[in-house]
Chain A
Amino acid sequence: MKDFLLVFRTDLKTIPKASPEDMQASVQKWMNWISGIAAQSKLVDRGNRLVSTGKVLKSDGIISDGPYTEIKESILGYSLVKAESLEEATELAKGCPVLFIGGNVEIREINVL
């Protein structure tokens, strides 16, 4: 088994302002999905979601306010899973709730240092 990082990306501007009920339903979807992976014994770390504000430090020393105003895909969060192959890890990513709000999941094998 190898470890894989799942990175969830979406355009933060397209996320609608949700009502408390919607937010609760969304939490439930994420929980269902991540627990479904845990149920298969394939979850390494449920990971975290990221706060939407941030800074970007560039090589010329310029600091800007986050990358998301100029690019469409911001990182929403990440999780760590384990699988035999990249294909299997990709299979696990199916059903990730970010896919239903127009986002995507990037699946990358971890090259252990």
Chain B
Amino acid sequence: MQQNELIPHLFRTEYSKIIAVLCNSFDLTHLEIAEDIASETFLKATEVWGIKGVPENPAAWLYTVAKNKVKDYFKHNSIFEKKIKDAIKSDDIETEKCFEFSNQNITDSQLAMVFAVCNPENSPEAQISLALQILCGFSVEEIANAFLTKAETIKKRLLRARANLRTSNFQIKILSESEIKLRLDTVLKTLYLLFNEGYFSKTNNQLIRKDLCSEAIRLAFILTQNRLTNTTETNALLSLMCFQSSRLDARTSDSGEAILFEEQDKSLWNDELIEKGNYYLITACTGDALSKYHIEAAIAYWHTTPTGKDKWQHILKLYNELILIEHSSVIALNRAFAFAKVYGYQNAIPEVEKLNLDNKNYYHSMLGYLYADTDLSEAISHYNKAIALTKSEIEKQTLGKEIERLRRALLPGI
């Protein structure tokens, strides 16, 4: 890896580890100090590595520098000294232990950070932004890009979220069994949303999308490494993420246009991720619990299989189950699509129209799609409504092309 690629890459992976270990040793009120130390560590890395070259083990180098910077803080910062050093006992041997960058301590600290960041007092958007910043090492600009929002908005959102984090009194050091039970739902939900932010992202930037998805997988994987958080639900969520990610390369064209499932080049599907999805789905099914993640993972599983006689029957059944435990307009429309696959487009039209989601672009694009075989002008009218409602330029283009195709079919000879 070239050095200009190496540093951003290391920053992503190591920044969050350093912050997690430091926060686990101080506490959340001193999150900023941890971030300062991590940033200074990377600043030093860019300076020194630029002259002397990259050390053999860059991560270990970073940990050593971070550790030394912490020691400097102990020596020079009297407020810090009083507030924290007392709290974590003052002799050097203890300090040494606290800031140990061992694999175990990194994993434990990261898990604790995940639980700290997924604070239900913050809105889901704020939790995701915070997770991206603190757990994944994203910059404000990168987060703003992913959300298609102004950097200023994200900055404000993060400030508020951090203030809540500081006052929440969440004890990061002792992650108790009861706290884990209380918060695991929120944690899973945040990771689910983080993943979806990447998978259904508004941004056309493929790199950011992939990063979001792989970060969500990495964090979900951390949860499977601890006895208390390795629940069947966690495994179901991880399975869902693996199945969905397996199609990431196939579902957008080089120009960023979405490619419909049926038209995807299946050779671009990632077999390794499909296998992982299978593995975690089997693990998820070892208990009695049936969560929405189980059902969604099962649906995603069917999507990775070739279209057989019963495939859509199974998918429809699963959507029927899903809509009973969680309602959303997206699930309702996906269910209607499965219904169309089983009972025919004609029969599905009333099923969709009953949903009455006149203000949703995907409601109209679905109706356009279903009408396209039988009623061209109705189909075009729905596609036009979808174009008027969507904010995505890519979707506008895709739908525009579809309308053109239908118009040509409507007026042969032109």
Q: Which residues of chain A have a CB within 8 Å of any CB of chain B?
A: 28, 31-32, 34-36, 38-41, 43, 46
Contact = CB atoms under 8 A, between A and B. Distances in A.
Contacts of A36: 351, 354
B357 to A, nearest CB: 10
Interface of B: 313, 316-317, 319-321, 323-324, 327, 331-332, 335-336, 339, 351, 354-356
A35 B320 contact: yes
Contacts of A39: 323, 327, 331-332, 335-336, 351, 354-355
Nearest to A28: B317
Contacts of B356: 40
B324 A41 contact: no
Most B-side CB within 10 Å, residue of A28, A40, A43: A40
Contacts of A46: 324
A39 to B, nearest CB: 4
Contacts of A32: 316, 320, 339
Nearest to A92: B354
B324 A34 contact: yes
A56 B336 CA distance: 42
Nearest to B319: A35
B323 to A, nearest CB: 5
Contacts of A34: 320, 324
A24 B320 CA distance: 14
A70 B36 CA distance: 83
A41 B354 CA distance: 11
A31 B356 CA distance: 21
B324 A35 contact: yes
B353 to A, nearest CB: 10
A32 B324 CA distance: 11
Contacts of A28: 313, 317
Given A28-B313, A39-B354, A40-B332, 8 more contacts: A28-B317, A31-B321, A32-B320, A36-B351, A36-B354, A38-B323, A39-B323, A40-B354
Contacts of B339: 32
Across chains A and B, which 5 residue pairs bring their CB atoms closest together, nearest first?
A35-B320, A39-B332, A31-B320, A38-B323, A35-B323
A36 B316 CA distance: 11
A39 B320 CA distance: 9
A43 B327 CA distance: 10
A32 B327 CA distance: 15
Contacts of A38: 323-324, 327
B243 to A, nearest CB: 22
Contact of A40 (B324, B331, B355): B355
Contacts of A40: 332, 354-356
A38 to B, nearest CB: 5
Contacts of B336: 39
A38 B326 CA distance: 9
A4 B339 CA distance: 26
Nearest to A36: B351
Contacts of B335: 35, 39
Most B-side CB within 10 Å, residue of A32, A39, A40, A43: A39
A28 B317 CA distance: 7
Contacts of A43: 324
A46 B325 CA distance: 11
Contacts of B321: 31, 35
A85 B314 CA distance: 35
A31 B339 CA distance: 12
Most B-side CB within 10 Å, residue of A31, A35, A41, A46: A35
A28 B339 CA distance: 11
A25 to B, nearest CB: 10
Nearest to A91: B354
A34 B313 CA distance: 16
Contacts of B324: 34-35, 38, 43, 46
7 contacts: A32-B320, A35-B319, A39-B331, A39-B332, A40-B354, A41-B327, A41-B332
